Structure 1
Amino acid sequence: MSFNGEQHPGVVPAPGNTQGFRLNHTMLRAKDPEVALAFYSRVFGMRVLRKLDFEEMQFSLYFLANVEQGEAIPEDTRERTAWTFGQKGLLELTHNWGTEQQADFAYHDGNAEPQGFGHICFSVPDLAAAQAWFDVCNVTFVKRAEQGKMKDVIFVKDPDGYWIEVIQADLMAGMGD
């Protein structure tokens, strides 16, 4: 018998009509795409799969992913666009043109009051090595692995103040028991 998910109040069996549905991406707004892209590519190793510009509405979308070595990604722009929208776990950075030139402009990070959005999360193979890497990169920490009640969980901030949780999968095995 295959695992069908934990059962909790409100959970219903997945309707057959939802077969093949998958979470494609999460969107964060970026004040300055050059700064945000430098952060996500340098600190987290993400690559831009596709950039889409919408001149009439004055915004751009950047779709980022952690690409596996040897992964076959279409070179043709149209094919890569369709391929991008079929992936799992992408990060979309949305840039509304001109925000990078406004010194006092900032997006709400979701963790300040009123709270809403919380964070995105990266799983890493070695949490201690990742924490050391974040120090080298001068990343802003919200919480280091050894701090607080939840050990082995890191929280850092991206350039727009969004929180990023960083975990090591095998260290999560006993979490919430």
Structure 2
Amino acid sequence: MVKFNHFNFNVLDLEKSLSFYKEALGLEPVREKTASDGSFKLVYLGDGVSEFTLELTWLKDRTEPYNLGECEFHLAFHVDDYEAVHSHHEAMGCICFENPSMGIYFISDPDGYWIEIVPAK
């Protein structure tokens, strides 16, 4: 059997990203790994429901923003109360694209990664 485990985003400012993911999506750290020499830190975020995690990778010596190309990839979350979550993201100012005809929208994290928000069916 094969099943999903985690997905990775490299981040420039780990604390800013942790704060964003907690406020925007309610994700909390479920485990961490720090290199013995301090050169990197991995923080795995969970939703408290599924086993799937989002791995945030912070590299100590990285100072340049990551080149995300044309952002033709994304992570998606479905939400129970679409309107309430949309209002929350609107107040946060993190909505970067909306597609009302499909009933979805995207938010952008501090590093520019896009996250799709889909209503639960």
TM-score normalised by length of structure 1: 0.63
Q: Which has the larger radius of gyration?
A: 1
Q: Which of 97, 113, 116 is the equivalent residue of 1:162?
A: 113
Tell me if the contact between 1:109 and 1:163 (Cα under 8 Å) persists in the aligned partners. no
More strand by share: 2
Query: TM-score, normalised to structure 2's length?
Result: 0.89
Q: For 2:3, which of 19, 22, 30 is the aligned residue?
A: 22
Report the AA paired with residue 142 of structure 1. C
Q: Which residue of 2 aligns with 1:151?
A: 102
Stretches of 4+ aligned residues off by more than 4 angstroms: none
Q: Deviations over 1:114-165 (max 9, x none)?
A: x5xx0001110122211101012221x221252xxx4211111000000100
> Aligned partners of 1:27, 1:110: CA distance in 2, in Å?
16
What does residue 77 of structure 2 align with? 122
Tell me, in whole angstroms, the C-alpha distance in 2 between the residues paired with 1:98 and 1:138.
29
* Equivalent residue runs for 1:1-177 within 5 Å: 19=1, 21-56=2-37, 58-68=39-49, 88-99=51-62, 102=63, 105-112=64-71, 118-139=73-94, 141-146=95-100, 150-170=101-121
RMSD over aligned Cα, in angstroms?
1.8
Structure 1 stretches lacking a partner, 5+ long: 1-18, 69-86, 171-177
Contact preservation (8 Å) 2:39, 2:59: yes
